[in-house]
Amino acid sequence: MPKLSVIVPFYNVQQYAPDTLRSLRMNARSDFEFVLVDDHSQDETPAIVERAAEELARVAQVRYIRHEVNGGLATARNTGLDAAGGEYLTFLDGDDWLARGYLADLLAAHEELGCDFLRTDHVQATARARSVHRAPVGPRGEVLDPREAILPADRSTSVDYAYAWAGSYHRRLVDRGVLHFTAGLRTAEDRPWIWKLHREAESFAVVNLLGVFYRRGVATSLTQIGDVRRLDFIRAFDQVVEETAADRDADRLLPKAVRTYCAIIAHHLAEIDKFEPAVARELQVRSAAAIGRLPQDALGDVLDTMDLKRSTRLRRLRRRAFGTKAAV
């Protein structure tokens, strides 16, 4: 069994894949496994990855898998999870990269703490600018209860730091069915995933370890494209709210889920000019329907404590929801 499996999905990232693959080479060990999943790229990405896989196989264990149809990031990660054999697992996106030696340090920290999953900080790279982003958890280097890290509702917490690649995960989470993503989600795929992880895992920790470089502003990223795939955030957060409402601690946790959903809806509406016109109209219709589906008592509390600009926008949607509730 490999000690650590690194799952790396690629899709149309021919410009960035060489940096990603070089960083894997700088982290390779004979007991590490790299699971490279091409999600049916239409550019030169498959050829780049295939050549690199042959080179990586000299210094690490490698699996290269190519999808016959494009399934999206969540599906590609699930393919990698199904193929990975490591005792520990982590993720990297095909346009990001790692610092030399990062994976060995990550594994050592996780083994020392012995928890279900580990979270790390990361470096955001926008063109030549670099900025450090910290996981929003105070205690470092100690084992914590993941469920307690969901709260408080009115502050940024661990479930808002949803980057799958910012940490590592013990295989027992795979065996218990906790680590897979909701298949088919094209965006916000990490939101139901991080909530499930914090509700169902038994232990986690955060460490002061920098080594993942997250590339922002990539032209092919869905955050830069205003098409209908971006509206999958609604399906993702519907799932978060539904699953949290069924949780044994729903009374405590549901206000956080509702507040986060409202904040994400408000964020998308504030950027509505970035969407294609037909998608912008669909965003308004679906957002109103989503507001209408939320538990109204919890929604009222959120709107009463949210800033005026966002609450006004969301109250307008709420009125629309009850006037056009059939429109989903």
Residue 325: predicted pLDDT:
44
Residue 226: predicted pLDDT:
62
What is the tens place of the pLDDT at every residue in 167-191?
Answer: 999 999 999 999 999 998 989 999 9
- The neighbour count for residue 297, using CB atoms within 10 Å, is 11
Domain boundary assignment for the chain: 4-223, 225-323
DSSP assignment of 223-236 equals: GG--SGGGGHHHHH
Amino acid identity of residue 27, one-letter, is N
Q: Where are the alpha helices (DSSP H) in the chain?
A: 17-25, 45-56, 73-83, 102-113, 171-175, 190-200, 232-245, 250-270, 277-293, 296-305, 308-323
What is the tens place of the pLDDT at every residue in 54-64?
Answer: 999 999 999 99
Taking the C-alpha atoms of residue 266 and residue 269, their distance in angstroms, rounded to an integer, is: 5
Mean pLDDT of 17-44: 98
In the block, tokens 């990539």 appear at 218
Contact 102, 192 (CB under 8 A): no
pLDDT band, residue 320 (cuts 50/70/90)? confident
Mean pLDDT of 283-292: 95
What is the tens place of the pLDDT at every residue in 232-268?
Answer: 999 999 999 999 999 999 999 999 999 999 999 999 9
Residue range 4-223 in CATH 3.40.50.1100 = no
- Return the percentage of the chain with pLDDT > 70, whole number: 95
Question: Taking each helix axis from N to C terminus, what angle separates 250-270 and 308-323, rounded to the nearest 10 degrees?
Answer: 100
Taking the C-alpha atoms of residue 162 and residue 189, their distance in angstroms, rounded to an integer, is: 9
Higher-confidence residue of 325 and 316: namely: 316
Q: Phi first, then psi: give them for residue 303, nearest 5 degrees.
A: -65, -30
Q: What's the whole-model pTM score?
A: 0.93
What is the tens place of the pLDDT at every residue in 203-234?
Answer: 999 999 999 999 998 655 555 456 889 999 99
Local structure of 144: helix, strand or coil: strand
